[in-house]
Amino acid sequence: MAIHNPVFEELMKDYDSALSHSGVSGERLARRLFELSQIGFTQVGGVKRPGFSQEEKTAKELVKKWMQEAGLQVAEDGAGNVRAWLPGKTPDAKAIASGSHVDSVPNGGNFDGPLGVLSALEVAESWKDTGYTPEKPYEVIIFTDEEGSRFNSGLSGSRAMAGEISEEEMLQLRDFDGKGLEQVLQDYGSSLQAFKEAKRDVTELELFVEVHIEQGKKLERDNQPVGIVSGIAGLAWLKAEFIGEAGHAGNTPMAGRRDPLVAAAEFIQKVSGFPEQVSETAVATVGKMEVFPNGANVIPERVELNVDIRDIQEQTRDRLVDLIASEAKRIADSRGIKVNLHENTKIQPIPIAENLKGKLADSLTKFGISPTYIPSGAGHDAMVLGRHIPVAMLFVRSKEGISHNPKEWSSLNDCVAGVHVLKDFIEKAMNE
């Protein structure tokens, strides 16, 4: 039985056609979002396009066709990253680039990733339709396996392009079926050697700017269609292991118990109060905990938990890590138990340069949009490139902040507003 996919009709239903100007076509953007939504379509209206899957590959092939029709030269590297480019009037100048990804989480939405790719492509389409030739080269990039649903380790394409995946990591990666990276690449039509050769000198890019749905509610609360990413948070994972003394739940008096779960509970409650002590953008979350031996009538012997700590500034993020670690030690000491702490992940935050945020604000103001600044708590391909070159990001309003879900939605009016802002910002960068 055929399943009706209403993406195109819903996008066009309330669209203000006056927003289609200067070569930007809302209908074209809506139709392309719809066509991508058909690839990996799920019964409940989402998409399933894991990295390096045939669905992701099919989506890339479709976008590559559109890129070629827009007059771009197209190539795909051994990691599955697609690059499309216009030479510009000064072909030996550094390129301005934009893009995102087309893979998804299992049963994900239709805007996370594709909107960034199609927005970048729509800029090139607008230039073709208006006869505009950019001063500098322009690139549209589709990064492969951003979400990480294949290997439980995301940003594979951008990290391969930047040369950030070591030989050791390549050999250790296993996907959800237990296949190694080499087998996955062979199934995809590439090879481990070609994956290694995907590394490029990313400093040949002057700037990378990514459009993405907000995945939050600030723009909705502020009633603005597009906002400026103030920085991309760096992640730190702190593992805490509280070690006490197991005992019988009925025969061990309350006085003198060395219960690590009680200590862990106190610790979790305290963690939520620390972020506001270091910055307005810091967050800390305990989302995973294991109790040993985990018996209903046993005082636990050991509790392990992980604290997810993020901020857009490295100094404040690291201060938050220190505060939380000190609190774990204080609680353990006060309850006569041990605690072992281990930082098992630490990723550098990527602040966005003030001059780039200022130029984005000028572009927003040009279209009557009040600049709203939003930290990104999630990782993006821009975060990887931002370790090597200047990057900027725009967020497009997302209904109720829903993401990684079939209900993920951004209105076509907001999506097109994002394209206009991106186009204006890139054109100004082209002439500097």
Omega of the bond leading into 375 within 30 degrees of 0 (cis): no
Annotated binding-site residue? 101: yes
Annotated binding-site residue? 212: yes
Helix axes 412-430, 354-366, angle to 10 degrees: 120
- Note whether 398 and 418 are within 8 A (CB): no
Token representation of residue 164: 């950030």
Annotated binding-site residue? 147: yes
Token representation of residue 207: 């700037």
- Note whether 228 and 371 are within 8 A (CB): yes
What distance in Å separates the CA atoms of residue 149 and residue 238, rounded to the nearest whole number? 23
- Determine the residue type at 49: R
- Note whether 245 and 301 are within 8 A (CB): yes
Q: Which DSSP string do the residues of 372-389 spell out, in sequence order?
A: -EEEE-S--HHHHHTTTS
Residue among 360, 372, 17, 385 at smallest CA distance from 202: 385
- Note whether 177 and 170 are within 8 A (CB): no
- Determine the residue type at 194: A
What distance in Å separates the CA atoms of residue 370 and residue 392, rounded to the nearest whole number? 18
Which residues line the annotated binding site?
101, 112, 147, 212, 404
Which residues line the annotated binding site for Zn(2+)?
101, 112, 147, 212, 404
